[in-house]
């Protein structure tokens, strides 16, 4: 049976762009757009593969970004980092 179009995780990739891990989240956005293009061209396997990579990179970017933000805030409250 025909499955629906694979997810491209574009919203997740755009959300990850707000995290301070710029190279990873930009690559996630590119993979997401490539996944969408592959799905529109009928390459469902390629779209699934690229979508999974976009999801993985987006999640890594969000986790690393959260860690960086928490570390920055905790160090700034201790007085080790000045604004």
Give the model confidence (pLDDT) of 7-43 as tens digits. 889 999 999 999 998 899 999 999 999 999 999 998 9
The pLDDT of residue 63 is above 90: yes
pLDDT attached to residue 45 = 93
For the chain, the domains span 8-81
20: three-class secondary structure by DSSP = coil
- pLDDT band per the 50, 70, 90 thresholds, residue 1: very low
Rounded Cα distance, 68 and 65, in Å: 5
Q: Which of 59-63, 64-68, 76-80 has the lowest mean pLDDT?
A: 76-80
């Amino acid at each position: 049976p025909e499955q629906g179009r694979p997810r491209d995780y574009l919203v997740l990739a755009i959300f990850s762009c707000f995290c301070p891990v710029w190279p990873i989240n930009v690559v996630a956005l590119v993979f997401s757009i490539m996944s969408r293009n592959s799905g529109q061209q009928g390459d469902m396997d390629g779209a699934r593969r690229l979508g999974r990579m976009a999801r993985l990179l987006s999640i890594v970017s969000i986790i690393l970004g959260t860690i960086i933000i928490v570390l920055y805030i905790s160090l700034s409250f201790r007085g080790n980092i000045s604004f």
